[in-house]
Amino acid sequence: MAGLPHLIRPMLASLRHELPEDEESYGWELKWDGLRAIAYVGEGTVRLVSRNDKEMAASYPELAVLADRVGTPVILDGEIVALRDGRPDFGLLQSRMHVQQPDDKLIRAAAVQMFVFDVLYLGHDSLLEQPYTQRRAELEKLGLNADPVHTPPWHRGGAAGVLADSIAKGLEGVVGKPLTSHYHPDQRRDWIKVKNVKQQEVIVCGWKPGAGRRADMIGSLLLGVYQDGKLRYVGHVGTGFTQDMLDELMAELTPLGRETSPFDTPVPAQQARDARWVEPRLVGEVAFAEWTTDEILRQPSWRGLRIDKGPRDVHRED
């Protein structure tokens, strides 16, 4: 793809707990629960690159149709999702994340789509310094709105209605982008997100075995986040797992075993007892009720691994 940048990291959004007073100065989009991807399209090929620079095109061959749908080289920003009953299903998407060459059976069982919400380069012209409204206009001219690639709508103001729509559709929340905002790769500037449910990226730092027949299997995971440069214990999670998730976690964690705790802060004795410690390399995500006063996740439920995040990127969101 001569003439196009080889790597542009996606722009990020900062978490807010309520809509801004000047919400009419934002463009509002639904927040899709999937895997962020930058698509580099040109010369008959498609590269899909994750937030942490992993090449993903081989895992999602159905998205190669992008090469036939645009007549000029482009760089696009979007989200890869797997839908169940019309709603993003992050658990279903998990079955595709670690498969480099999925067979036809898996592709049919866990079909993915890409919702494209920004265009960063058009031809060899950078649009990074163009306002959000202009980039959106150029994106819509591409006509990307047929399975498995879609351009979801955006709304000028009207944030409360968009948020209500996201709740009705069982979606994660909304993203607000100032109408005049430029695209700042790999930075949290201007864009905001408001979620319907609380979610937190976490680092898996150990596990505790279950009981009975599961005595040698994962019963719960010990979780951490980085805070002020230190890996801090934030609780444990023992719900939300499917058997496939547990099997995958065991396969990933077994070679990462270590003798001592990787945490820089104390772990409650009850959780440290019989813990199997691991190198803090795997990143996952949980849904939870709230943070307790001592900064522990309350009622967390496992959502799945995040292959698009590195451990050093994991901090408490709010």
Residue 306 burial (C-beta neighbours within 10 Å; 0-12, 13-18, 19+): buried
Closest by CA position to 269, among listed 222, 203, 310, 230? 222
Tokens for 207? Answer: 């596990």
Q: Where are the beta strands (DSSP E) in 17-111?
A: 26-31, 35-42, 45-49, 74-84, 87-88
Catalytic residue among 31, 177, 208, 309: 31
Predicted local confidence at residue 4, as pLDDT: 86
Q: Which SS3 state, helix, strand or coil, does residue 67 take?
A: helix
Q: Which CATH number fits domain 198-313: 1.20.210.10, 2.40.50.140, 3.40.30.10, 1.10.3720.10?
A: 2.40.50.140
Q: Which fold has domain 12-32+153-196?
A: Dna Ligase; domain 1 (3.30.1490)
Q: Rounded to an integer, what distance in angstroms lies between the CA atom of residue 123 and that of residue 145?
A: 20
In the chain, CATH 3.30.470.30 covers 33-151
What is the bridge-based pairing of β-strands 12-16 and 188-195?
A: parallel
Our measurement of the distance from residue 261's CA atom to the centroid of its chain's CA atoms, rounded to an integer in Å, reads: 27
Please check whether residue 279 is in contact with residue 311, taking contact to mean a CB–CB distance below 8 angstroms.
no
Token pair, residue 7, equals 């790597």
CATH 3.30.1490.70 domain range(s) in the chain: 12-32+153-196
pLDDT (tens digit, 0 to 9) for every residue of the chain, 318 residues total?
Answer: 667 899 999 999 999 989 999 999 999 999 998 999 999 999 899 999 999 999 999 999 999 999 999 989 999 999 999 998 888 988 889 889 889 999 999 999 999 999 999 999 999 899 999 999 999 999 999 999 999 999 999 999 999 999 999 988 888 899 999 999 999 999 998 999 998 888 999 999 999 998 776 677 899 999 999 999 999 999 999 999 988 899 999 999 999 999 999 999 999 999 999 999 999 999 999 999 889 988 999 999 999 999 888 999 999 987
- For domain 33-151, the CATH class is alpha beta
Residues forming CATH 2.40.50.140 domain(s) in the chain: 198-313
Q: Is 31 a catalytic residue?
A: yes
**pLDDT at position 290, please?**
87
* Residue where the block lists tokens 């939870």: 288
**Strand 276-288 and strand 301-305: pairing?**
antiparallel
- Among 31, 38, 37, which Cα is nearest to 16's? 31
Q: Which pLDDT belongs to residue 29?
A: 97
CB 181 within 8 A of CB 132: yes
- Please measure the distance between the N-terminal and C-terminal CA atoms of the chain and give it in whole angstroms: 39
Question: Which pair of tokens denotes residue 42?
Answer: 């040109």
pLDDT at residue number 70? 92
Q: HSE (CB half, 13 Å, CA atoms) of 299?
A: 5
- Listing DSSP states for 137-153 in one string gives HHHHHT---BTTEE---
